[in-house]
Amino acid sequence: MEADFRVLNDAVNLTGFCTLVRSEGLKYLENGRAQFYYIIY
């Protein structure tokens, strides 16, 4: 029972962490500043 809760809790936390990392990356891609586009490419 405790193991199931831990697996489910870790899966939810991982989903939230992935969303945070992806949104931080998109913040730089979608800001309209040419120097950031140059750095990426």
CA 24/CA 22 separation, integer angstroms: 5
What string of DSSP letters covers 1-41?
-HHHHHHHHHHHHHHHHHHHHHHHHHHHHTS--HHHHHHH-
CA 8/CA 23 separation, integer angstroms: 23
Would you say the C-alpha torsion 4, 5, 7, 8 has a positive or negative sign?
Answer: positive
pLDDT score recorded for residue 41: 56
Residues 1-41 have pLDDT tens digits of 688 899 999 999 999 999 998 888 777 666 666 666 666 55
CA 34 to chain centre: 23
Report the predicted TM-score, pTM, of the whole model to 2 decimal places. Answer: 0.58
pLDDT score recorded for residue 28: 67
Report which DSSP code applies to 41.
Answer: -
